[in-house]
Amino acid sequence: MLKLKGEWPKYLLGLGFIAAALLGGGAAPGLWTDTVLQLFILLAATPILAARSGEAVDVRIFWLCGQVLTAIIVQLLPVSEALVRPLRDQVFSGGRLAAGTLEFISLGLGRTLETLLYVAVLAILLVALLRLPGPQLHALLPFMLAGVACNAVAGFVQYSASARVTVEGLLPFTVTAGFFANRNHFASLLYEALPFLLYLVTFAGIRLWAAAAIVLVLLDLLATGSRAGAVIGLLALVLSVVFFASRSRVGVGSLVALAVVAGVYGMGTWFVFEARDFTDATRAQLAATTLQGIRQNWALGVGYGNFPAAYQAYEAPSTISERYANHAHNDYLELIFEGGVMAALLIAGYVAMIGRQLLRMRHSHFHKAAFLGVLFVLIHSFVDYPLRTMAIVVPFVYFNAILFHGGLKPVGRHIKGIVEVTNGRRRRRVPVTAP
């Protein structure tokens, strides 16, 4: 076993964060950019996992990752059709199997295998982040925010043009907002960063820069025209101020300024809804049809990654058009449709873990920011599928690593490894190695 020395693993992972923000904005399956990012993550994580030194990983993380991977692997194993057929809608068998034939739970092994690789790489990234020393995990924040900044600036340039700017040929998907193919997912990256920018406002030395970044992010959120992004952005701003106002040394003037910004942004959010029809019959129809599929396949599901093919079996003829449903636009319904009751139990278990962890870390601003980042992505997943993009899921994994890291113990409103140093009237915070 190697001994982890120096900070070069941190920089390698940090480069992975930036690369994910620049290359991982596509949600279609089989993108070469996602493959490159997954290989880079494995390269960065391997020396950390191979080292004999490192922080101890919470056993609950191993349990959750193991259960998730097992749920996917089981769908790839051949079992007797006598066990599968009674638990599956007959529309997917149709008498094509003879008695005693082996069958797979997944209707499409290729898509489920692709899902397994996607989840396995993310699990490896999570464990690698948890093994980093606490100060190094905290020091990855600038890398994550650098990727957000690149997207925010690109989005600002695009939306400042007289016509909507799209870029084709640079990446294996058409870039429409920032470096993303989907403006809603671009909005997800922006509101993920808001709690951490509010967290940085509590640092006296960089307060002005953080405030300017907040304004840029809010302008981009309104410019996207994404209703979910605009609303969650407002929620992120308000909840971040509420979470950080307690036990904070931010002056009253700063809080008033943030309240004014929130008010102006709230008006902008209202205009976004006024500009677009609030009724979204398409999403309601997607949810209703997906629920029908869940009722018929609740025990086993249809296989992870197989939503597009399985959904077509339950579509009403009157709703069929040239455009097909590639996702349910509700990740919880889609996962339960694909994974059955086991997927529902895993989702519930994960949400319970997050809630319990917040109660343990409620005095640390850094942990609060991570919790809010997780919370807003989970909320957005009710109406979209943000975690299907590498650019969103990599920061999401980072936020979870912050919440469950053993070396980031809350100490008052700070965390173990981050202390405040007083230099005359000016205060600044510097990282130190935790004992």
The string of pLDDT tens digits covering residues 115-168 is: 999 999 999 999 999 999 888 999 999 999 999 999 999 988 888 876 667 888
Q: Which residue did the predictor score with more confidence, 333 or 317?
A: 333
First vs last Cα of the chain: how many Å apart? 23
Check pLDDT > 90 for residue 73. yes
Q: In this predicted model, what pLDDT tens digit does every residue of 298-326 receive, in sequence order?
A: 888 999 999 988 888 888 776 666 666 78
Cα separation, 27 vs 41, in Å, equals 18
Among 41-45, 106-110, 274-278, 392-396, which is the least confidently predicted range? 274-278
- Mean predicted confidence (pLDDT) in 380-400: 94
pLDDT at position 212: 86
Distance CA 384, CA 329 (A): 4
The two most distant CA atoms of the chain are separated, in Å, by: 82
Six-digit token string for 220: 């981009």
159, 220 in Cβ contact below 8 A?
yes
Is the alpha carbon torsion for 70, 76, 82, 86 positive or negative?
positive
Q: How many angstroms separate the CA atoms of 49 and 65, rounded?
A: 15
Average the pLDDT over 161-179 and give the result. Answer: 82
Residue 130 phi, psi (nearest 5): -70, -25
CA 435 – CA 424 distance, rounded (Å): 27
When pLDDT is cut at 50, 70 and 90, the band that residue 420 belongs to is very low
Instruction: State how far the Cα of 325 lies from the Cα of 432, in Å rounded to an integer.
Output: 50
A 10 A CB-CB count for 14 gives 21
| Most confident of the following: 32-41, 220-229, 302-311 | 32-41
Instruction: Read off the pLDDT of each residue in 425-435 and give the average, rounded to a whole number.
Output: 37
Instruction: Indicate whether 381 pLDDT > 60.
Output: yes
Q: What is the mean pLDDT of residues 64-92?
A: 86
Let me know: does 180 contact 389? Beta carbons within 8 Å: yes
Burial 301-312 (b: 16+ CB within 10 A, else e): bbbbbbbeebbe
Q: State residue 421's pLDDT score.
A: 34
The runs of H, that is alpha helices, within 280-330 are: 281-296, 307-311
Residue 99 vs residue 203, higher pLDDT: 203
Look at residue 165 in the predicted model and tell me its pLDDT.
Answer: 74
Alpha-carbon separation of residue 172 from 169, 191, 282, 331, 395 (angstroms): 7, 25, 27, 24, 22
pLDDT surpassing 70 at residue 191: yes
- Identify the pLDDT of residue 432: 34
Q: Strand, coil or helix: what is 21?
A: helix
CB distance 428 to 421 below 8 Å: yes
The rounded mean pLDDT for the chain is: 81
| Distance from C-alpha of 314 to C-alpha of 297, rounded to nearest angstrom | 12
Alpha-carbon gap, residue 63 to 305, rounded angstroms: 23
Q: Where residue 276 falls among pLDDT bands split at 50, 70, 90?
A: low
pTM of this prediction? 0.87
